[in-house]
A and B are shown apart, each in its own frame.
Chain A
Amino acid sequence: MNVYQVYWRIQYRRTNRYWREVGVAPWVGYLVSGGLFLSISAGLFSRTGFAPYLYASLAVFTLSLFNDRQRTSFLRQLFLQKSYYQLRLVENTLVSIPFLSVLMFYGDHLVAFVLLALTLLLARIPDIWKSDWVMPTPFGKKPFEFARGFRASWPLFLLIFLLLLQGVVVGNEELALFSVGCVFLVAMGYYQPPEPVFWVWLFRMRPAAFLQHKLRTGLVQASVLAALPALLVLFAFPGYWQWLVLVFLAGYLFLALLILGKYAAYPTPISMPQAILFALCIWFPPALLVMLPFFYRKALRAVAPILV
Chain B
Amino acid sequence: MIILQHVHKAYGRHQVLSDVDATISPGMVTGIVGANGAGKTTLFRCMADLEPYEGDISYRGETLRPHLGYVPTQPFYLSRLTAREYLQLLLVANSLPVPDLEQRNIFTLPLDNYASTFSTGMQKKLAIWGVLLLQKPVYILDEPFNGVDIESNMLLTEVILRLKAQGKTIVLSSHIFSTLRDICDVIYHLEEGTFRQKVERDQFDALDQAMRKVHIGTRLDRFFEEE
Binding site for B on A (CB under 8 A): 68-70, 132, 134, 140-144, 147-148, 151-152, 195-199, 201-205, 305, 308
Q: Is B48 in contact with chain A by the CB < 8 A criterion?
A: yes
Do most interface residues of chain A lie in helix, strand or loop, or is the interface mixed? loop
- Say whether B81 contacts A144, CB under 8 Å: yes
- Say whether B80 contacts A147, CB under 8 Å: yes
Enumerate chain B residues within 8 angstroms of A132, measured Cβ to Cβ: 113-114, 117
- Say whether B50 contacts A197, CB under 8 Å: yes
Q: What is the number of residues of chain B that contact chain A, defined by CB distance less than 8 Å?
A: 27
Which of these binds chain A: B6-14, B82-90, B180-188, B207-215? Answer: B82-90
23 contacts between A and B (CB under 8 A): A134-B82, A140-B88, A141-B88, A143-B82, A143-B85, A143-B86, A143-B89, A144-B78, A144-B81, A144-B89, A147-B80, A147-B81, A147-B85, A151-B80, A152-B79, A152-B80, A195-B78, A196-B76, A202-B90, A204-B66, A204-B94, A204-B95, A305-B52
Enumerate chain B residues within 8 angstroms of A204, measured Cβ to Cβ: 66, 93-95
Enumerate chain B residues within 8 angstroms of A148, measured Cβ to Cβ: 78-81
Enumerate chain B residues within 8 angstroms of A203, measured Cβ to Cβ: 93-94
B116, closest chain A residue (CB): A70
Enumerate chain B residues within 8 angstroms of A201, measured Cβ to Cβ: 48-50
Enumerate chain A residues within 8 angstroms of B48, measured Cβ to Cβ: 201
B76, closest chain A residue (CB): A196
Within 8 A of A (CB), among B47-93: 48-50, 52, 65-66, 72, 76, 78-82, 84-86, 88-90, 92-93
Residue from A70, A151, A197, A205 in contact with B93 in the complex, judged by beta carbons closer than 8 Å: A205
Q: Whole-angstrom distance from the CB of A151 to the nearest CB of chain B?
A: 4
With A199-B78, A205-B93 already in contact, the answer to whether A134 and B50 are too (CB < 8 A) is no
Report Cα–Cα, A205/B92, bound state, in Å.
10
Enumerate chain A residues within 8 angstroms of B202, measured Cβ to Cβ: none
Enumerate chain A residues within 8 angstroms of B78, measured Cβ to Cβ: 144, 148, 195, 199
Q: Whole-angstrom distance from the CB of B80 to the nearest CB of chain A?
A: 4
Report Cα–Cα, A197/B76, bound state, in Å.
11
Report Cα–Cα, A204/B76, bound state, in Å.
19
- Say whether A198 contacts B76, CB under 8 Å: yes
With A141-B88, A148-B81 already in contact, the answer to whether A134 and B76 are too (CB < 8 A) is no
Report Cα–Cα, A140/B111, bound state, in Å.
12
Enumerate chain B residues within 8 angstroms of A152, measured Cβ to Cβ: 79-80
Report Cα–Cα, A144/B72, bound state, in Å.
20
Enumerate chain B residues within 8 angstroms of A202, measured Cβ to Cβ: 89-90, 93-94
Enumerate chain B residues within 8 angstroms of A70, measured Cβ to Cβ: 79
Enumerate chain A residues within 8 angstroms of B93, measured Cβ to Cβ: 202-205
Enumerate chain A residues within 8 angstroms of B50, measured Cβ to Cβ: 197-198, 201
Q: Is B112 in contact with chain A by the CB < 8 A criterion?
A: yes
Enumerate chain B residues within 8 angstroms of A308, measured Cβ to Cβ: 65-66
Enumerate chain A residues within 8 angstroms of B112, measured Cβ to Cβ: 134
A68, closest chain B residue (CB): B79
Within 8 A of A (CB), among B145-177: none
